[in-house]
Structure 1
């Protein structure tokens, strides 16, 4: 990172001086460490680079002479590491591709406003910091190589593939190869003929460098043989430690190779190994230690001493003194593990916390191996500070727990299914949605939880995500407890990051479901309202035009002829227009959803509706299809039900044929053919097989209307002329009428009221040849 005192010299190249000056002012204001100089062309900029030193370049693309790419290529020839950001108003994939090929540091397109300068200032700072980091890393590597070259021990550095990237002169001597020949080889090169001390080949996974690379832990005194080019067999003792990158991953392995063919003294080997490791890893937190079983004395290297808060060589104590420095919660376990390692003569490997002299807690990884010599039994080992790794793991666990808590408790339904469709996880929102528990969902598939149609649709969407590896957003209809709900589901693939898994093949699907049932219902209702408005507009504009035209014509005649008889025609036309307007308003109101319903006596509703009709109807008779005293009760909005019945009665009266008095009397006395054929309704509704008409209606002529209940509703039938099959399809459309004086809205209102209740209405031929209107879907109580 740049310190607050660092000054960054920036050269801004742009053939528009005003823009360059403006950009310089904003950049210096955004970051007071930026010192911006400008150049108007690539040639001018190259001259400035020769005369002075800059930390970064920002260049336009479209400039006279050399363009931005050509300028970039020229800079790279002379200054290969100097950051250059292409900041251009002319952007395209081709320009970006050429810039990347030429080695551009960053690519940014000019935009309007001043926010672009904030972004540019950040890009400049990031580029300079990246260059400084790379330079510092290169400097550290060079310093390490210089140190290792002077170390009298055999030190090599291996990359992740086991290739030698560094070997000091001592390593060249031990390996029996030239410097160039060593770097051409890998640790597992067959020409080494690496074998264990038992003479058997060592598998690649068990080679010392591979163990350090895979475990991220140091390795001490691993022994094997190699063959020199002249066929001489050498015995090597290998100590390896990992080098980590900034992200905590093993970047490379540093090994010391000791030729122990002559079986030098083990204690001297330990001291020499410690010195070599200390020199090779002075910048690391890895060290060595030794514990003498007989005296219980512990010798610490400089690194563990520093970690414990001691100066180099200051610690002089026993194992008990070391255990006292271990965190109280870990002390008993470490003591037990050491005891077991001693009893079984096995390797000790553990992680625990220590408390330094300042009271700070740090995590360490310790590995020890028992060694016997002529005088005593020792355990020697390596030590590594893993505090940062543990803190990252802790932060990761905290983050995971937070995410789990968020996922679990959010009200939005979330779930995860494996590649077989079985649920692995559901959250609180999903359990609320289904009304099921974890035990009822996890381990089951949609086919076991939902209707087949729902399961087929959701599994098809899951398969699409698993097969393509692409996220999917789709609407899904889910039936829960018999109720259909609409969800907007977002599904993404989940991959297994394990070593044995295929990283390109999804193993699960994670989904988030948003309930959009209300939204879709509102959209449907809004569309219905739009359709009704369009219908109203069409009908009104059509049906009002004729009476309006009549009124205008009559008015003109009245004015030109002074004949007042034309005023009657105007009045008639205006009356008709008023009826049309009233019916349109009524149609609009009746089409709205029903808010409240109540139990309604069907017989009382029919009687009240007929009273309203019979006051205006000169002809017409109404009879019930049953006279049982037990009434039928339906659930409805009573005022709207009355309006529906009135319109059906009025339709039959207005369109029914005039009948003779004898026919009417016969219908009243014996019941119409419709009444006879529908002599009773569903017995569950308490109907009988006789007929009657309301007491308040005693008309003696005209059409006979029969009304009665059915299994799921009721009907209104008449003995009028009926409705032809071709007219039945358009009968309920607003504005349709076979009567020249009718508005055509009566049956449309019937249809709207039925729809608002959730009922259906249709028309067929009655038993008498007239019209029979059937209302179905009615709820009885």
Structure 2
């Protein structure tokens, strides 16, 4: 008795002998404990019993009252054409067997013989297994058809059932009986084995001889797949040989089941072509393609993987994906793979470690693959070489560092030389130069070490690519200089980059090879030149400021000496006159002298506060405001510090700023005015509750000489604005919440 932990096989046995039914049930369940056998003596009621679809096989007697086995088979086939139906009868004859087979019986077994129950059990098992396999294959083919429905119109929907034929072969006489007579597989009437051989491809005929011989000698079932040669026959057919021992015969009779499998073979060939096409497409891409199984091992990859890593296919097969990465990246890779499995996708930048130990930067994108039931099959994705991007990012970082160095350069020559050095070190330009415009000429200021003396010629701004670049302010990436009529290369150069350095001059890089520079070179070169232009702009501003400061110093000297000396004389004379006589005009003259003194002091302060600020310190606005308040004649006024803030500023000039704003509030407001100092997110403010800003245009109060007080000089707020601008800040005048004036200073570093 067989005992297997497999699916139960439910059998409906039909016989008019209840005792025989009971005996058969007992013997079958002994043969295989998977069998669940239900019985009936009512053949006409079988269709109703089969309606719920729970039976795997029908075993029927042949000779029964009312409806015999073949009639029952026909009835069952009407409703269940594929359900295994085994004719199990005691009245065996070739005629009955032939009729049964012609009617589509699954198997024909005689009740006679000691091993009848074993044969019946084997037949049931085989029939059910084949039935289930056929059903499973059909379901699988249907699923695969859906996946390929866009490319395989002929496979839309369920795969059609193939034609079949049943042959009986007598190996002793070579005679065959075919059911049906006209074989649907080979397209002819079959009478002898030779008829079959003639339709089978010569390359496959030996398989038939060998299979028949094995079936006769060993008594085992044989399965094979064969090709045909006739246009009327199927291209391929499957042949199953089942030897059947007949009492009194030395050799068994062979029952053969032939089934057209041309569509399946065509499908397999098409699938192979599709797979080959996908493989070719995957191998054609420049990126890495990979598939990692649920255990984290490589299962599929493209040719690019072997090219990049240096491992051959045998080495990659089954390799843990982590082994392709250096030790310091393996943890990140493992985490990324886990992220794909749980969330569906992930992107990671990591270095690949080649077989030779080289590291190459790649960006990997992975997605989760699942089967129809949602089970994770693995991770599929691509890896893209980001060496160029990484190199570009390194160059960008280096160029930003160069920008800091250029901002600290103290001469045009130093800026140009550092720019050329950067073009060599970072951009790997061998031949580059900077020409600065001077009186209509582009004079060479800095060149690469490899530029020959012949390449140092100064040129007019009206000549060559350099002149065109300077005049139009446009940059050029030139792959072939021979295509530019205005080009006048000073050497055997074929390609070049030409970029204006704003209105200062021109940067050029050249090469003796054509198409030597690409778009990235061009972009990075423009960035480098923009840094150089900013540095040259700064130097130009500093020169202008220096000249301005020199003029201010001259002005301050004139004010301090040429105006103050006569004023001192006038004040001394006024003092003497006051001692000798008493006149109302003397007091007016004294007031005028004091106003002149105030004007001179304000002019000197204006000259001092407008100069550049060299160094700043961290200072408290509360501390500076309170100290400044102490230097202002405040009458009954009050200072309120709403909140404190530490900023970067020149302490002396910040002190002057607060002093002037506080004095402005006191002199233009009430005697008991309140001045409030507070912090802003990016600066601070000074507000009062006085009479407010009288001007229609608030910005006009910063103009030199503007004042609403009879004895005001009009310089106080101008000096405040000069101090603000010298720090790089901004000042805005507006009304305070109490109706007075409010000054907001912003853009301040903390």
Common fold by TM > 0.5: no
What is the TM-score normalised by the length of structure 2? 0.39
Higher relative contact order (CA 8 A, sep 6+): 1
What is the TM-score normalised by the length of structure 1? 0.37
